[in-house]
Amino acid sequence: MNHESSPRAWVDVDLEAIAHNLDIARQALPDTALMPVIKAGAYGHGLEPVARRLDADGIAYFGVANAGEARRITLANLRTKPFILGPTIPDERAEIVEQGWCCTISTMEEARHFQSLAALGNRTFTVHIAVDTGMGREGFLPTELGGVAPQIAALPNLFVEGVMSHFPAADEDVPFTQDEIGVFTDCVQTLSQHFDLRYRHIAASAGELGYEIPCANLARPGLLLYGVAPMASIYDGVLRPTLRLSSRVSLIRELPAGHGVAYGRTYVTDRPTRVATIGIGYADGWSRRLSGAGARVCIRGQFCPMLGRVTMDQIMADVTHVPDAAPGDEVELIGPHIPVTEVAERAGTIVWEIFTGLGPRLPRNY
Ligand SMILES: *Cc1c(COP(=O)(O)O)cnc(C)c1O
């Protein structure tokens, strides 16, 4: 006999929900091309399965973080090409040029390096010019553009296909973002004197939800594909949740009043308490910052407060009010009763970090 027991904790991913959320973006932005952002393993949902599901006509690129993710897209043999969102490291560039992955340039040094690599391979290499309209992470400053644009245009093996920027505060600072759209529009105008810009893009999910950006014709939705709108918008209530995080009860015990639970004994029972031990911990991405923060799980349809600190592989919850709870029971940590937004709030972080923190030990079921 060959016994393979089921995992203690796992993630169920709804690929149809992700495709649905992309459709919602497409309907809301009918004249805008889309670059679904699938960096960080598609925000914890699994890079290749998500890419395969979304690899349809009408998608401009897949947004990825680095050469390693771009390589995985290439190996998956998809129609859609990867676009490396952040700056490239010098020793990544030979592979990037050879593979023809699209990326951005922020300095003349990068432009010249790509030019020489492309010339060496006798290729034309496609880039987007990044401009820094406020993020402080990459891009030429808007004031530099007039000077560098002719220099870039003179590099014979570079093809400038687009211009990109990235909002730093679309969901936090509306006046700044509106000014920024004006700056970006000027940048597009300056560059248009030298290049035929097929793609002009600045908005991620929040920018796309909240603003009119007439000069842009490509959007880079990430979070909203995964069912969460970063700001109140027309998308409220139409996005579908894409992921469930579950675990199982390994043990149930009765503890007397005055008994500590977990490291540091930060929680001490104030009455006889039925305590469930559950097979998930911070090594799986159930953040240790959820310790003592009012986090809860759901067992047999009942909310159960988590007790004490999160440990590496296990957590404890109060099941005194769930008398039929038993070892082996499924535990919902993120799902229909417990939205990921609640988990992020209790952990004092953002949904992006909860999604991308879901660890490799968790099998993904599709
Ligand atoms: C991650 C990222 C996105 C997607 O952001 P969301 O807020 O998740 O939609 C878009 N553009 C760039 C440059 C990014 O780094």
For the segment 18-44, the average pLDDT, to the nearest whole number, is 95
* Alpha carbons within 13 A on the beta-carbon side of 313: 4
Residue 289 CA to ligand 1 center (angstroms) comes to 24
Q: Quick one: how far is CA 230 from the chain centroid?
A: 12
Query: Is the shortest distance between the CB of 210 and ligand 1 below 6 Å?
Result: no
Tokens 């050469």: give the residue. 67
Q: How far is the CA of 220 from the centre of ligand 1 (A)?
A: 6
221 lines ligand 1 (CB under 6 A): yes
User: pLDDT confidence of 13, banded at 50, 70, 90?
Assistant: very high
Is 227 touching ligand 1 by the criterion CB < 6 Å? no
pLDDT at residue 193 greater than cutoff 70 = yes
**Is 126 a pocket residue for ligand 1 (Cβ < 6 Å)?**
no
The values of phi and psi at residue 151, to 5°, are -65, -40
Coil, strand, or helix at residue 92? helix
Atom of ligand 1 nearest to the CA of 224: 9
User: Cα(82) to centroid of ligand 1, in Å?
Assistant: 14
Tokens of 273: 């308490």
pLDDT for 60 beyond 90: yes
Give CA angle at 78 (72, 82), nearest 5°.
Answer: 55
Instruction: Determine the Cα–Cα distance for residues 212 and 167; give it in Å rounded to an integer.
Output: 13
Strands 273-278 and 243-255: antiparallel
* 3-class SS of residue 126: strand
* Residue positions annotated with a catalytic role: 39, 263
Name the strand (E) or helix (H) holding 330: strand 330-334
Pocket of ligand 1 contains residue 220 by CB under 6 Å: yes
Q: What is the pLDDT of residue 231?
A: 77
Q: What's the average model confidence in pLDDT over 170-180?
A: 95
Task: Indicate which atom in ligand 1 lies nearest the CA of residue 221.
Answer: 9
Measured in Å, residue 117 CA sits from the centre of ligand 1 at 28
Q: What is the rounded distance in angstroms from the CA atom of residue 356 to the CA atom of residue 228?
A: 14
Exposed, middle or buried: residue 277 (CB in 10 Å: 0-12, 13-18, 19+)? Answer: middle
pLDDT at 185: 98
| Tens-digit pLDDT profile for residues 307-364 | 999 999 999 999 999 999 999 999 999 999 999 999 999 999 999 999 999 999 999 9
For residue 252, count other CB atoms closer than 10 A to its CB.
17
Measured distance CA(276)–CA(288) in Å, rounded: 18
DSSP one-letter code for 8 = S
* Spatial separation of the C-alpha atoms in residues 34 and 283, rounded to whole Å: 34
- pLDDT on residue 1: 64
How many angstroms does the Cα of residue 37 sit away from the middle of ligand 1? 6
Ligand 1 pocket check: which of 34, 138, 220 to mutate, most ligand atoms within 8 Å of Cβ?
A: 220
Cα dihedral sign for 304, 309, 310, 314?
A: negative
- 37 Cβ closer than 6 Å to some ligand 1 atom: yes
In whole angstroms, what is the distance from residue 314 CA to residue 296 CA?
14
Ligand 1: nearest atom to the Cα of 352: 8
